[in-house]
Amino acid sequence: MPRLTKRIPTAAAAALTICISLTNSPLITTTNAATTYLPISSPHFGGCTLRDTVAHELDQDLAYCALKPSDCTPTADSNFKYLPPHILRTTTTKCRNPHEVSIGRCTSSLDGNACSAFAESCKISPRFVIADQEGECKVVQTSDTDLLTNYPRCVSQPGLTDVTPSSRCVMGPDDCDSGEAFRITNHLPWIDKCYCYHVSTGLCRLTGVAPITADASFCAVGGYDCPDKYTFMTSAMLLNLNDPPRVCTLCQEESVQGVQLHESVVESGACYAYPGTINFRRCALESTECDAAVGEAFLSSQQVYDMGHVPCRADDFTGGECTSGLDSVSCVNRAESCKFPPKFIAKNSCTLHSDRGTAEGETWFGRCRRSTAKDVIRWCVWGEEECKTGEVWYAAELDKDWLDGCNCENVKTGACRHDGEGAGGQGYYCAVSKLGCEDPSSYVSSGDLEAQLGLDCRLCQPRRMPTPNPPVNQPVTPPTDSPVNQPVTPPTDSPMRQPTMVQVGQPTRRPVVQPTRRPVGQPAKQPVKRPSPNTFQQSEKSSENLGLGVPIPVIVTFSVMMCLGIVLFGLYVFQSPKKSSTEAENEAIVNGEVTSLS
């Protein structure tokens, strides 16, 4: 896909050139910006249930959510067994939230009674207690104190490899690669702590699909969470891939805030190659995304599960951008969500969850409005077809003082009928439209779903945002055996406060930040050296007047003012092209090409 660029008018470009020559400053530009944005995902989790549990009673008898199978056997005679997430999802929506997942505890006084996922992370391993049904230790934080759970590290060893000393946060010792040494939790108490959103996990990849794609993989804690047709890849292997399909972390920073998750959300269908051998091609939300001309057929999300595969989450599907001056929004899910659909442009950074190409980007959706004798009902929808006769469709808009805009987590969807178990255990599963169903005639629209079936299907899970308290001590230069370029705090006799989570009524909207990948077992890149403040002081002293008798600040100020004047003049002269574009859009409106301006 070609990279979108914003062109500068010729006069403005000339003005910038003059400014550069006047101030003798370098102009820093970015070229070949990446257009591919890695999905940032976290795993679903398994759970412990009674060994004699019948499948349809699983929701009632699920004892607790667990990180790994050994957490289901706190004692040798335990009557629980572990079920992986792809089995749990058939009859329950539990164990998708990391706040629900129990882990163990290091009960030794040397460990401070800290929560831990593995015994090896404790200073006194024999004092480790496995997670149980009543446990207060969770993946994210301790439920009784709200202190965030700390995790251990893998540290590269210069004596074993040529790698620059560095470290990464992990769940346990099995995550360390060759050339790395395991360091228990709080090995050096003054080093920045590892929280769940720092911890990398592995993924399950669909066997036989090469290269590994985001559609044919999903994040997982361990190989025990992979279905039969999938192969597990460790966190170290994933970090070392030249072209990884996704970024996997135990939880996401914006997921740390405890917020009630939606009970049912959309999972994708997929395009498969026919005839002959049925081969997975890619995930799809609607059948129109599959090309029948090349032998592709669409299977619904439930049919994908029946194939032994795992569907994709809707969050990471891409949409596009509304480029018309009539639109207040940028990223949307599809062209019809723009007020002027002909100006819609597909854009990879516009995911259904957010715009990953900007600092504060959101993706926006349209809505339906239904007027009744007593009230006016508005709800966010996938597309205009969700609005029935007598209901009004509104294209996507930004938040207003009296009405919030529609984001992914606000969008209500319909559901399709399936012979097996579906969303809410009623034989239905969520879909964005009738085109996401195996039988389109079984589709129940978003406006009728809750009234008819008691289901509330959403496109995405709600956004969450952490609000940790800052550490007591200021960061200082790290000692040896510490991660590269990571701030640390010096040892102190006084106890250090860990950050706590503060519940807020309305989740703060925050764009997804692309994490930096550092290869495991490979040399770390050296930071760019920047001149010290003394360098600039010496430069200023050596050219204080430039032999002109005028101080440097005066020359710089005059040059900047000149630049601004030239740039503004250039932009003013070249405003005419915009006018013609607006006239074309207004003409299209008059001609009936735009059906709704809301």
The predicted pLDDT at position 159 comes to 60
pLDDT of 366 above 90: yes
**Cα separation of 134 and 494, whole Å?**
32
Q: How many CB atoms lie within 10 A of CB 416?
A: 26
Percentage of the chain exceeding pLDDT 70: 66
Model confidence at 28, pLDDT cuts 50, 70, 90, reads very low
The strand pairing partners of 138, in sequence order, are: 102
Give the residue, 63 or 449, on which the prediction is more confident.
Answer: 449
Q: How many CB atoms lie within 10 A of CB 329?
A: 22
Q: How many CB atoms lie within 10 A of CB 509?
A: 15
The predicted pLDDT at position 173 comes to 92
Nearest residue to 252 via CA among 462, 8, 33: 462
Mean pLDDT, all residues of the chain: 75
The predicted pLDDT at position 470 comes to 37
**Cα separation of 429 and 133, whole Å?**
30
Q: Tokens 């200073």 appear where?
A: 123
Give the residue, 202 or 565, on which the prediction is more confident.
Answer: 202
The predicted pLDDT at position 119 comes to 92
Judged by phi (left if over 0) then psi (alpha if -120 to 50, else beta), residue 299 lies in beta
Cα–Cα distances in angstroms (integers) from residue 501 to residues 44, 141, 253, in the given order:
22, 9, 12
pTM above 0.75, yes or no: no
Q: Do 492 and 336 contact (CB within 8 A), yes or no?
A: no
Model confidence at 187, pLDDT cuts 50, 70, 90, reads confident
* 195 class by beta-carbon count within 10 Å (0-12 exposed, 13-18 middle, 19+ buried): buried
The predicted pLDDT at position 537 comes to 39
Nearest residue to 390 via CA among 377, 407, 403: 377
pLDDT of 425 above 50: no
The predicted pLDDT at position 275 comes to 72
Q: Which two tokens stand for residue 62?
A: 């699920």
Judged by phi (left if over 0) then psi (alpha if -120 to 50, else beta), residue 97 lies in beta
pLDDT of 346 above 90: yes
Q: Which two tokens stand for residue 573?
A: 């002269």
Q: Do 267 and 281 contact (CB within 8 A), yes or no?
A: no
Q: Do 287 and 303 contact (CB within 8 A), yes or no?
A: no
The predicted pLDDT at position 95 comes to 87
The DSSP output letter for 511 is P
Q: Do 405 and 398 contact (CB within 8 A), yes or no?
A: yes
Domain segments of the chain as ranges: 314-458
**Cα separation of 102 and 194, whole Å?**
18
Q: Do 571 and 9 contact (CB within 8 A), yes or no?
A: yes
pLDDT of 544 above 80: no
* 441 class by beta-carbon count within 10 Å (0-12 exposed, 13-18 middle, 19+ buried): exposed
